[in-house]
Structure 1
Amino acid sequence: MSDTSRDPSAGWLEGREHFLPVRIYYEDTDFTGMVYHANYLRYFERGRSDFFRMVGIRHAELLEQEQPTAFTIVRMEIDYRRAARVDDALLVRTTYDEVRGPRLLVSQQIARGDELIAEAHVQAVCIDLRGRARKPPKAMVEQLRPYLTPPKATP
Structure 2
Amino acid sequence: MGEASGRIQGDAHLFPVRVYWEDTDAGGIVYYANYLKFTERARSDMLRLLGIDQRAMLDADDGAMFAVRDVTVEYLSPARLDDDLVVRTRLIALKGATITLEQDVLRAETVLVHTRVRAAFIGLGGGPRRIPPDIRTAMAGLAARDGEEET
TM over 0.5: yes
Q: Tell me the distance in 1 between the aligned counterparts of 2:70 and 2:56.
A: 24
Sequence identity (%): 33
Residue aligning to 1:120: 115
CA contact (8 A) 1:69 1:136 kept: no
**What residue in structure 1 maps to residue 10 of structure 2?**
15
**After the TM superposition, which segments of 4 or more aligned residues of structure 1 sit over 3 Å from their partners?**
none
Listed one character per residue, the Cα deviations across residues 98-119 of structure 1 (whole Å, up to 9, x for unaligned) are 2112111101000100211101
- Equivalences for residues 75-90 of structure 1 within 5 A: 75-90=70-85
Structure 1 counterpart SS, 2:38: helix
CA contact (8 A) 1:80 1:117 kept: yes
1:124 alignment partner, SS class: strand
Q: How many residues align?
A: 145
Letter in 1 for 2:17: V
Residue 100 of structure 1 is matched in structure 2 by 95
Mapping of 1:5-154 within 5 angstroms? 10-148=5-143
Q: Distance in 1 between matches of 2:87 and 2:126?
A: 29
Q: CA deviation at 1:149?
A: 6.2
- RMSD in angstroms over aligned alpha carbons? 1.5
Give the residue type in structure 2 aligned to 1:117. Answer: L
Higher relative contact order (CA 8 A, sep 6+): 2
TM-score between both structures, scaled by the size of structure 1? 0.88
The one-character-per-residue Cα deviations of 1:65-99 (angstroms, maximum 9, x if unpaired) are 34211111111000011010100000100112221
In structure 2, runs of 5+ residues without a counterpart are 146-151
- Name structure 1 gaps, 5 residues minimum: 151-155
